[in-house]
Amino acid sequence: MSRANQRLAQVQSHLSSSEADIPRGRESLFSKSPSDVVITCALRTPLTKGGRGGFKDTAASDLLAHTFKSLISRSQIDPALVEDIAVGSVLPPGGGATEFRAAALVAGFPESTAVKSLNRQCSSGLQACVDIANAIRSGMIDIGVGSGVESMSQQYGPGAVTEFSELLESHPEAKNCKVPMGVLSEQMAKDRSISREDQDAFAAKSYQKALRAQQAGSFVAEIAPMKTKFVDPKTDEETEIMVERDDGIRPGVTPESLAKVKPAFAKDGSIHGGNASQISDGAAAVLLMKRSAAEKLGQPIVGKFIASSVVGVKPLLMGIGPWKAIPVALEKAGITEQEVDVYEINEAFASQCVWCIRELGLPENSVNPNGGAIALGHPLGCTGARQISTLLNELGRSGKKIGVTSMCVGTGMGMAAVWVKE
């Protein structure tokens, strides 16, 4: 075969595995092809309280290095076979590109494994996993890692937001991109008639579900415990601790207890620290590869990537992102909302999550069955990758098959992805 014909055959092969050829319909999602993008391992660190929790003195790069080491150890993958790593993160200066490459080397990946950082705000971890999945689907690589990390303890604050130029300030819609999410979510709750009572009831359920899951050991399989340093805020004494559990989950939370919390963004407001996502630290990673590669290597296949979507909405309506993104992803997969078994929707604010669930007509018991970011925490860049491990473990425990992960995205976007448990 001539070189030109070889190249033509290669291009045709890549096109044959494009999104246009994704199987349609629920049953078709269970079919298996050598070109499928599959997951063989997904894990995360515990999520801890920003500024107070177990990882308050741990750098994001160290959280990431530990997560990579745990992924290599648990999956038994030869790190030299991993061709590319994508890391979603929101707050690090320079996007974290330098320290994330260094973290991969520390973890045991060779210099031949490429690393990139990316930032699509709260969907960064999911975007990293989707970027790797699409690189595999296109034929660019066969094996890669999608991941996310955030140390909100060390990097969250005013310095994470750039001052707008006169040009940006002069554009009515553009300047709305810098309106604080709490402020715009408060206004959205009022405009869309999401009562404080409904928000507090939703938030209390998140805490209660997460507490039950933690007590039942439901998170153990997805967590990679980490030994790290901890500085006592009262004595300045540094000790070494083992962080094994999410420390933001609180017992005894009820709608009545949340009703006593003062509003955070307006005197007559409905949003407060108890019905919004927690400021947190954590990291997560997902090992993806072609099914043919997984079978050749004897890697256990735990899930399959089907389709994803990313959409834009008005900046001031950031919270409706999942409502717009989920139907787009489902259409690409050829299924309806009712054919999905479990939804992991990021609980940025109870207000926007309640509205999206209602507008999409989702059964409440199918959404965040083990609680969400209100109870677990929301390390910005980590969440999208964390949701995948939580989803696949829940699907496995419950004997269900199809799941969706989704979140709203700051500045007015939404993202969603469809996954199948194997």
Active site residues: 122, 378, 408
- Dist. CA 367–CA 378, nearest whole Å: 17
Q: Within 10 Å of residue 311's Cβ, how many Cβ atoms?
A: 20
Positive or negative torsion for Cα 244, 151, 374, 127: negative
Six-digit token pair at 230? 């901890």
**What are the strands, taking DSSP E only, across 123-168?**
143-151
Asked if 351 contacts 188 with a C-beta cutoff of 8 angstroms, the reply is yes
Half-sphere exposure in the Cβ direction for 7 (13 Å, CA): 3
284, 44 contact by CB (below 8 A): yes
* Residue 418 burial class via C-beta count within 10 angstroms: exposed 0-12, middle 13-18, buried 19 and up: buried
Residues 115, 131 contacting (CB under 8 angstroms): no
* Distances, alpha carbon 73 to alpha carbons 109, 127, 264, 368, in Å: 12, 24, 43, 29
